[in-house]
Amino acid sequence: MDSAADFLATQAPGAPARPWLLAADVGVALGSREARTGRVLLNAGGTARWWGGEPHEDAAFHRSLEAAAHRCGDVLDAARQAALAALRSAFEVLEGREPGAAVPPAPGAGGNLGARDLGVREHLELAADPALDAVERAWHWLAAERGRSGAAAEEARRWALRAAAPGAAVVLDAAATGPDGLAVELAVVDAATGDVLLDTLLDPHAPVTGDPATTHGLCDTDLTGAPPLAEVLPALLRVTDGRPVVAADAPAQRRLLLRSAAAEGLDPGGLRLPRRWEDLTAHAADSGVVLEPHPAPCDRAARVCRRERDLLLALAGRRPAVGRAA
């Protein structure tokens, strides 16, 4: 038989698919994985969508759709659902194993399951090879993903070592009046030494909104007598001059400072440049660590900076990891 459709056309309605049906026969291909949910981008019949994120999207789900397609006489959709069930089965088998464990070859496999010295590109080429069946293609896709993850983790480690070198980066945290608000507190810590270079409240000339007890713990009365950003900005520019600025969710921290500077008609200098900022959240994710939102209510900026510095050093291999393992 030359295709999945040919095979399925010979089956009685509702019959299960051949265990490792050729997914390529009906245009099923795997793309990238969504980092937050773990879903895989699937292209089936020219339509791309995220796949496998819901508990019901398992192999049994696709086999039930295959049976329904048979009952409706839709041989092409039955073939596609059978291919999806095969790939889903492959993922369920392979992802349930310990990393590096031996995987039994599927019927008709070309023997590439044991090729553990291949590079990411070679694994991706095999994952897209229509001559291989679903389990082998899924194995090579997962091997490529592991290779990419390992490379990303090593790059994150090297980045952290550079950032934590003496005189290199600083760690910054700022708190705001509320969503899309203005800065009410600002702290900067030396990434290498942990020395606090700046720690100050700020008068935002605007009320604190929302419930401060769930965030920084500051209210309007706490900010009475605090300096405006105009008085603090020269010190901020001095302690960050020529140094990378590391922050959790750096794009949001940068926008907060730019918004606060604009509200007072100030020039933020080099801090306006995206290339000056380094996103700790993204680099941590490359190492398999997901940063929690401030886990303790009423966290003040200097404490947040110290915790983020601890994570930076952990990524560099110098301290235990802080945060939640992915």
DSSP-derived 3-state class of residue 80: helix
**What are φ and ψ of residue 50, in 5° steps?**
-75, 140
Q: Where is average pLDDT lowest: 7-11, 62-66, 314-318?
A: 7-11
User: CA dihedral defined by 223, 224, 229, 234, rounded to 10 degrees?
Assistant: -110
Q: Mean pLDDT across the stretch 301-326? A: 75
What confidence score (pLDDT) does residue 192 get? 93
Pick the closest to residue 11 from 23, 1, 25 (CA basis). Answer: 1
Q: Is the pLDDT of residue 41 over 50?
A: yes
Residue % of the chain over a pLDDT of 90 = 30
What tokens does 264 get?
């007072």
* pLDDT tens-digit map of 134-159: 667 777 777 777 777 777 788 888 99
DSSP-derived 3-state class of residue 41: strand
Look up the pTM and report it. Answer: 0.61
Beta bridge partners of 42: 30, 49
pLDDT bin (cut points 50, 70, 90) of residue 280 is: very high
pLDDT bin (cut points 50, 70, 90) of residue 42 is: low
What is the distance between the alpha carbons of residues 186 and 173, in angstroms, rounded to a whole number?
6
Q: Is the pLDDT of residue 9 over 60?
A: no
pLDDT bin (cut points 50, 70, 90) of residue 65 is: confident
Between 324 and 258, the higher pLDDT residue: 258
Q: Mean pLDDT across the stretch 87-110? A: 53
Q: What is the DSSP letter of 70?
A: H
Average pLDDT score over the chain: 75
What confidence score (pLDDT) does residue 103 get? 45
Burial class for 312, CB neighbours closer than 10 Å (0-12, 13-18, 19+): buried
What confidence score (pLDDT) does residue 21 get? 35
User: What fold characterizes domain 166-325?
Assistant: Nucleotidyltransferase; domain 5 (3.30.420)
Alpha helix (H) residue ranges in 33-177: 59-72, 75-95, 120-127, 134-163
Between 293 and 324, the higher pLDDT residue: 293
Cα dihedral 316, 278, 254, 39 sign: negative
Between 131 and 207, the higher pLDDT residue: 207
What confidence score (pLDDT) does residue 18 get? 36
> What letter represents residue 101's amino acid?
A
Q: Mean pLDDT across the stretch 165-193? A: 92
Q: Is the pLDDT of residue 207 over 70?
A: yes
What confidence score (pLDDT) does residue 298 get? 62
Give per-residue burial for 250-266: e unless 16+ CB within 10 Å, then b.
Answer: beebbebbeebbebeee
Between 81 and 166, the higher pLDDT residue: 166
Q: What is the DSSP letter of 168?
A: S
CATH 3.30.420.10 domain residues, the chain: 166-325
